[in-house]
Amino acid sequence: MNLVDALGHLINLFAPAWGVAALMALAIKLIWRREQRALAWRRLLLWGGLGGTLAVLVALAWLAHDGTMLGYGLMLLGVVLPQWWLTLKR
């Protein structure tokens, strides 16, 4: 495997976490428009993406391979919990 292939694998490993984080940040900003006006979209995306990335790494270390339903569930928790915490602080 060359460097381009390895980079493609890494991007594809973390893309679902960042995609879900972007969708959740968008949903928070659309649904709770007034309550979360002061909370920046980028901040929601960043914390959700980092939490999802950490959860993917934990799932990969714990389950020894990617693509399991438990791993995706952990990724979803990793995305949602930081964003939920940010919305509670307001």
What tokens does 44 get?
Answer: 């929601």
Number of domains in the chain: 1
Separation CA 5–CA 50 (nearest Å):
23
E strand or H helix that includes residue 5: helix 3-31
Q: What is the pLDDT of residue 23?
A: 96
Range of the domain at 65: 3-88
For the chain, percent of residues with pLDDT exceeding 90:
76
Look at 61 and 34; give whichever has higher pLDDT.
61
Query: In one letter, which amino acid is 11?
Result: I
What's the whole-number mean pLDDT along residues 7-20? 95
